[in-house]
Amino acid sequence: MKKYDVIIVGGGPAGVITAVTAKRTYRDKSIALIRKVEKAIVPCG
């Protein structure tokens, strides 16, 4: 089993932005984003 420092459940726009922000803020932490579908729409901006 792989271990992560941060796990984000939900791959909608808010989840994706949260994952990106977390990785930029905590570069040394491992982050997992869990979502239902393999491909999702990525928010622009």
Task: Read off the pLDDT of residues 10-19 as tens digits, 9 standing for 90 and up.
Answer: 988 889 899 9
Query: Is the per-residue pLDDT at 28 higher than 90?
Result: yes
pLDDT of residue 39: 73
Q: Domain-by-domain residue ranges, the chain?
A: 1-45
CB 18 within 8 A of CB 6: no
CA 44 – CA 27 distance, rounded (Å): 22
Backbone torsions φ then ψ of 17, nearest 5 degrees: -65, -40
Question: What is the share, in percent, of the chain residues with pLDDT greater than 90?
Answer: 62
pTM above 0.85, yes or no: no
**What average pLDDT is seen over the chain?**
89
